[in-house]
């Protein structure tokens, strides 16, 4: 039988980073990566192929090139079985391959609610990471007018805005009371809601859809309250489900939500088998609860941890829980979130103090290109440890969210944050006297001080 040292199933972000970091850490080992499709999409770029990027061609990850350049063997095939007792995998077309270490990075598939009538009609779409599907979808949308996007998470919001830019009449429908409900508290998400509405999007919140109907193809969407909306197409962006059938059949433990159970080194219950990315279980950094976070950035962090520990356990290099750091952009407005929201903390029984600061992302604020900047900082009430943040601003909002992300991961308190030095520049950041992160921390410190009086 053919042999390799490390076999990676899955060629998207998690698989690619595992191969690259693994090969960097263990250059003397052979690495094989198995991809199901030739082309691999940049996952977070997918909404943008419908607008800004204009085609899927521009949103490809150079996986083959990177693998070749770094001496990793790439196989275009599908794994049909993992024989964990004998450490080998079977393929649809190729010969089986034996491995020392197996890394499962099989990703996730868009969820289609089983109860949803009409989900099988023509012009009902989901958003998989599949180029062929997405290209066909883009083509089928041509000439359509009214599109319902169901589910206002990041993908739903981004896709809606892109389709709106292309001239479609878009209605974004969210069952929960607010858009981006899991990522932002209502005081923040309301502002994003207003922004996208001002751009011509129609947004319906607090109402799920009940049924999609039409004669063979989409004609109407019925909401829970009985309203009927005329539609030419529906895009479902209501979540993803981990691809773990293959693993489960091979005896890899899977949790009740379908994720592969992993420890801090990203090891599964089976010797020599690791799992990373969307298919692997996440545990929240703060609440320690399993969370369904699926982010390419999280996947990459997990991949790095897994392959640093493949052969040689590095006690310091473990994964300390998922801190969901997201950011998104609507035109030149940026939004970001890290850690838990105030609401999520409350639901978990964590008492918090919140500091909300509103400023401007340049100084003086009259400089061209300036944006209102808002930072909401969330800290545990008694320790002052920072557990979450939400950010609104301009293009700097992504990295500003990362500043707070690093603070959270270092378990910094608002008090230690207050003595931090920050670099500022008129064209790039808020003013040093009104740096939003520090100002928000000051507000919390004041609340703590008043409580201790």
Q: Which of residues 402-441 bind a second copy (CB under 8 A)?
A: 402-403, 405-407, 409-410, 412, 415-416, 418-429, 431-433, 435, 438
Identify the helix (H) or strand (E) that includes residue 189: helix 186-198
Site string for a second copy, 76-105 (x = CB under 8 A): ------------------------------
Between 5 and 424, name the residue whose CB sits nearer to a second copy: 424
Q: Which residues between 244 and 303 bind a second copy (CB under 8 A)?
A: 295-301
- Report how many residues bind a second copy under the rule CB under 8 A: 87
Distance of CA 238 to the CA centre of its chain: 13
CB of 173 to a second copy, least distance (A): 23
Q: Rule CB under 8 A: choose which of 37, 52, 241, 253 binds a second copy.
A: 52
CB of 95 to a second copy, least distance (A): 29
Between 163 and 407, name the residue whose CB sits nearer to a second copy: 407
CB of 427 to a second copy, least distance (A): 4
Between 109 and 416, name the residue whose CB sits nearer to a second copy: 416
Site string for a second copy, 303-322 (x = CB under 8 A): -xx--x-----x-xxxxx-x
Between 34 and 41, name the residue whose CB sits nearer to a second copy: 41
Q: Distance between CA atoms of 212 and 147, rounded to whole angstroms?
A: 12
Q: Distance between CA atoms of 237 and 158, rounded to whole angstroms?
A: 11
> CA dihedral in degrees (300, 11, 142, 154; nearest 10)?
-20
Between 196 and 204, name the residue whose CB sits nearer to a second copy: 196
CB of 417 to a second copy, least distance (A): 9
Q: Distance between CA atoms of 17 and 307, rounded to whole angstroms?
A: 9
Q: Rule CB under 8 A: choose which of 31, 326, 353, 357 binds a second copy.
A: 326
Between 36 and 362, name the residue whose CB sits nearer to a second copy: 362
Residue pair 344/287 in contact (Cβ under 8 Å)? The answer is yes
CB of 217 to a second copy, least distance (A): 31
* Nearest Cα to Cα of residue 247 among 3, 5, 6, 10: 10
Q: Which residues between 336 and 375 bind a second copy (CB under 8 A)?
A: 336, 338, 363-364, 366-369
Contact flag: residue 40 with a second copy (CB under 8 A): no
228-230 and 220-223 strand pairing: antiparallel
Q: Distance between CA atoms of 238 and 112, rounded to whole angstroms?
A: 8
Residue pair 392/188 in contact (Cβ under 8 Å)? The answer is yes
* Nearest Cα to Cα of residue 98 among 114, 108, 83, 87: 87
- Cβ count near 47 (within 10 Å): 23
DSSP, collapsed to helix, strand or coil, labels residue 250 as coil
Q: Rule CB under 8 A: choose which of 106, 328, 352, 370 binds a second copy.
A: 328
Between 66 and 119, name the residue whose CB sits nearer to a second copy: 66
- Torsion 277-279-280-285 (CA) sign: positive
Q: Distance between CA atoms of 280 and 87, rounded to whole angstroms?
A: 20
* Nearest Cα to Cα of residue 388 among 380, 396, 398: 380
Between 243 and 401, name the residue whose CB sits nearer to a second copy: 401
341 prior amide bond cis, ω within 30: no
Q: Which residues between 386 and 405 bind a second copy (CB under 8 A)?
A: 394-403, 405
Q: Rule CB under 8 A: choose which of 58, 117, 257, 288 binds a second copy.
A: 58
- 419 Cβ contact partners less than 8 Å away, ≥ 6 residues apart: none
Between 140 and 447, name the residue whose CB sits nearer to a second copy: 447
């Amino acid at each position: 039988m053919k042999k390799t040292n490390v076999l990676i199933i899955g060629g998207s972000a998690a698989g690619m980073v595992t191969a690259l970091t693994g090969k960097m850490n263990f250059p003397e080992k052979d690495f094989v990566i198995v991809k199901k499709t030739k082309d691999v999409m940049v996952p977070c770029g997918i909404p943008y192929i419908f607008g800004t990027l204009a085609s899927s061609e521009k949103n490809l990850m150079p996986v083959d090139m990177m693998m070749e350049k770094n001496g990793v063997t790439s196989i275009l095939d599908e794994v049909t079985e993992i024989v964990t007792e004998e450490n080998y995998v079977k393929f649809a077309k190729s010969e089986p391959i034996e491995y020392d270490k197996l890394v499962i990075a099989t990703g996730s598939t868009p969820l289609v609610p089983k109860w949803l009538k009409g989900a099988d009609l023509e012009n009902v779409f989901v958003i998989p990471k599949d180029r062929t599907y997405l290209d066909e979808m883009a083509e089928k949308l041509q000439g359509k007018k009214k599109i319902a996007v169901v589910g206002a998470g990041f993908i739903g919001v981004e896709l809606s805005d892109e389709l709106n830019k292309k001239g479609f009449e878009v209605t974004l429908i969210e069952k929960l009371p607010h858009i981006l409900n899991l990522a932002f508290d209502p005081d923040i998400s309301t502002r994003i809601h207003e922004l996208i509405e001002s751009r011509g999007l129609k947004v319906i919140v607090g109402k799920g859809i009940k049924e999609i109907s039409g004669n063979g193809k989409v004609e109407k969407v019925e909401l829970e309250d009985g309203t009927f909306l005329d539609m030419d197409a529906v895009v479902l962006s209501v979540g993803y489900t981990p691809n773990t059938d293959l693993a489960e059949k091979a005896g890899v433990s899977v949790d009740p939500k379908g994720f592969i159970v992993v420890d801090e080194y990203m090891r599964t219950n089976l010797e020599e088998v690791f799992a990373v990315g969307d298919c692997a279980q996440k545990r929240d950094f703060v609440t320690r609860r399993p969370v369904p976070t699926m982010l390419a950035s999280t996947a990459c962090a997990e991949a790095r941890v897994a392959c640093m520990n493949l052969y040689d356990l590095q006690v310091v290099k473990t994964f300390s829980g998922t801190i969901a750091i997201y950011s998104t952009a609507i035109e030149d407005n940026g939004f970001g979130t890290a850690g838990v929201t105030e609401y999520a903390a409350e639901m978990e029984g964590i008492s918090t103090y919140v500091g909300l600061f509103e400023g401007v992302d340049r100084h003086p604020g009259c400089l061209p290109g300036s944006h209102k900047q808002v930072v909401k900082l969330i800290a545990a009430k008694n320790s002052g440890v920072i557990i979450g943040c939400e950010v609104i601003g301009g293009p700097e909002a992504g990295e500003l969210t990362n500043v707070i992300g690093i603070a959270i991961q270092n378990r910094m308190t608002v008090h230690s944050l207050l003595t931090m030095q920050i670099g500022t520049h008129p064209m790039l950041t808020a003013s040093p006297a009104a740096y939003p992160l520090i100002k928000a921390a000051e507000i919390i410190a004041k609340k703590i001080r008043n409580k201790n009086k």
